[in-house]
């Protein structure tokens, strides 16, 4: 998250120019896992009609060149590579990642660590490896096989990783669960930091994962305590404040407004954010969204929230983009811009 946050400040010029500073690419539609509550394979992920498994999946040189063309055109500051499972395309990534680092792009790769992670990636600049670990071994293995603890531990050896856990209702209901999780992952030399997101449901979802309001309050309280005991756990107080009171809609979400999310064909957009479909914003627990929202709530000297300056910049950016369009093709700019255009 810190690289996203750094990126946002560095990206002010891009926002003012009406462009997205952040890009999230589903680099492949393939994934050997079948996680319960996976949003990527949901029916509405791409807005209905098409599902992820039907999207054109590029590979080999076509994927490498397609991504490079996209990066040259959109000039993002921060790129998240997600899936599917990005490691399915490790050969293409072997070529892409060093080139992205050389382009000055901060890249984050989110993986289940289901297969070996090339050791060359450990020395890449501007690169962050995020490994999803959803709970302690019994629950994680049941949920994320074949990316079991045994495999994850084997495959992260030699790397410095960000361990990312998405908290579900089942975890909250077991007293001391998160503390046990922190204890296990904090002691590993491969763990550079630990991030915690909260499970974000889709509208109409009835699932065992979905947190109740009292669960949410409990997690926030637990994390406030745990951050003192486990320095590798990165959860700023402001971020926890957003978990307690999430954005109300995509137009209230800095992350959605500054990030363009693309599916594996490198052109279909995923909206309103990387979750796609119809996420329940006021139950959002996405760490990237919360981190940026926390900055937006921060007050400048004089009492003005950073978010209002940010929104003014977004509106100015929309105007700049509108002026860039050929006069005959201009559409009336919207009063509030939900998501920036490319």
Closest approach of Cβ 134 to ligand SF4, in Å? 9
Among 105, 281, 295, 318, contact with ligand SF4 (rule: CB under 6 A): 281
At 309, phi and psi to the nearest 5?
Answer: -65, -40
245: its two tokens: 């009171």
- What are the E-state strand segments in 143-207? 161-167, 191-198
Closest approach of Cβ 253 to ligand SF4, in Å? 3
CA-to-CA distance for 330 and 262, rounded, in angstroms?
A: 24
CA-to-CA distance for 174 and 160, rounded, in angstroms?
A: 29
Q: Tell me the site size for ligand SF4, rule CB under 6 A.
A: 26
C-alpha 338: how far from its chain's center?
Answer: 18
Task: Give whichever of 247 and 307 is closer to ligand SF4, judged by the CB atom.
Answer: 247
Residues within window 23-52 making contact with ligand SF4, judged by CB under 6 A? 31, 33-35, 38, 40-41
Among 18, 66, 83, 135, contact with ligand SF4 (rule: CB under 6 A): 83
Task: Give whichever of 32 and 305 is closer to ligand SF4, judged by the CB atom.
Answer: 32
Q: Is 71 in the site for ligand SF4 (CB under 6 A)?
A: no
Helical spans, DSSP H, in 75-109: 90-102
Task: Give whichever of 85 and 209 is closer to ligand SF4, judged by the CB atom.
Answer: 85
Residues within window 87-146 making contact with ligand SF4, judged by CB under 6 A? 112
Stretch of 3-11, 150-158, 267-275, 323-331 contacting ligand SF4, by CB under 6 A? 267-275
Length of the chain: 342
Task: Give whichever of 35 and 188 is closer to ligand SF4, judged by the CB atom.
Answer: 35
CA-to-CA distance for 234 and 5, rounded, in angstroms?
A: 13
Residues within window 211-230 making contact with ligand SF4, judged by CB under 6 A? none
Among 93, 284, 306, 340, contact with ligand SF4 (rule: CB under 6 A): 284
Q: Is 276 in the site for ligand SF4 (CB under 6 A)?
A: no
Task: Give whichever of 85 and 190 is closer to ligand SF4, judged by the CB atom.
Answer: 85
Q: Is 79 in the site for ligand SF4 (CB under 6 A)?
A: no
Closest approach of Cβ 95 to ligand SF4, in Å? 23
Q: Give the C-alpha distances (Å, rounded to integers) separating 234 from 137, 183, 227.
A: 22, 14, 7
Q: Is 279 in the site for ligand SF4 (CB under 6 A)?
A: yes
Among 156, 273, 295, 339, contact with ligand SF4 (rule: CB under 6 A): 273
Q: Is 307 in the site for ligand SF4 (CB under 6 A)?
A: no
Residues within window 233-252 making contact with ligand SF4, judged by CB under 6 A? 246-247, 250
Task: Give whichever of 195 and 255 is closer to ligand SF4, judged by the CB atom.
Answer: 255
213-225 residues labelled b (16+ CB within 10 A) or e (exposed): eebbebbbebbee
Q: Is 195 in the site for ligand SF4 (CB under 6 A)?
A: no
Written as one string, the DSSP assignment of 193-216 is: EEEEEE--PBTT---SSPPPHHHH
CA-to-CA distance for 224 and 240, rounded, in angstroms?
A: 8
Q: Give the C-alpha distances (Å, rounded to integers) separating 134 from 106, 172, 179, 220.
A: 25, 12, 14, 17
Q: Give the C-alpha distances (Å, rounded to integers) separating 280 from 94, 97, 134, 298, 308.
A: 36, 33, 21, 24, 23
Place of tokens 């050896």: 157
Residues that bind ligand SF4 (CB under 6 A): 31, 33-35, 38, 40-41, 83-85, 112, 200, 246-247, 250, 253, 255-256, 272-273, 275, 279, 281, 284, 286, 289
């Amino acid at each position: 998250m810190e690289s996203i946050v750094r990126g946002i400040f560095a990206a002010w010029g891009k926002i003012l120019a009406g462009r997205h500073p952040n890009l999230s690419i589903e680099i492949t539609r393939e994934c050997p896992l079948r996680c319960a509550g996976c949003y990527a394979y949901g029916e509405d992920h791409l807005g209905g009609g098409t599902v992820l498994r039907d999207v054109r999946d590029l590979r080999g040189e076509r994927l490498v060149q397609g991504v490079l063309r996209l990066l040259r055109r959109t000039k993002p500051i921060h790129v998240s590579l997600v899936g599917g499972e990005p490691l399915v395309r490790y050969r293409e990534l072997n070529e892409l990642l060093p080139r992205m680092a050389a382009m000055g792009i901060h890249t984050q790769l989110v993986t289940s660590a289901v297969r070996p992670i090339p050791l060359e990636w450990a020395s890449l600049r501007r690169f962050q490896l995020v490994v999803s670990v959803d709970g302690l071994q019994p629950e994680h293995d049941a949920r994320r096989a074949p990316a079991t603890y045994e495999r994850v531990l084997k495959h992260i050896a030699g790397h410095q990783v960000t361990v990312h856990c998405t908290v579900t209702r089942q975890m909250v209901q077991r007293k001391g669960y998160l503390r046990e999780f922190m204890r296990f992952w904090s002691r590993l030399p491969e763990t550079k930091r630990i991030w915690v997101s909260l499970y974000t449901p889709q509208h109409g979802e009835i699932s065992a994962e979905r947190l109740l309001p009292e669960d949410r309050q409990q997690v926030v309280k637990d994390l406030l305590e745990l951050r003192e005991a486990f320095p590798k756990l990165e959860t700023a107080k402001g971020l926890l404040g957003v978990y307690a009171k999430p954005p109300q809609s995509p137009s209230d979400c800095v992350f959605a407004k500054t990030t363009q999310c693309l599916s594996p064909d490198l052109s279909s957009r995923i909206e309103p954010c990387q979750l796609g479909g119809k996420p329940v914003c006021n139950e959002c627990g996405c760490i990237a969204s919360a981190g940026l929202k926390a900055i937006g709530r921060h007050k400048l000297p004089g009492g003005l929230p950073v978010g209002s300056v940010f929104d003014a910049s977004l509106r100015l950016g929309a105007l700049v983009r509108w002026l860039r369009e050929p006069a005959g093709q201009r559409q009336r700019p919207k009063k509030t811009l939900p998501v920036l255009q490319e």
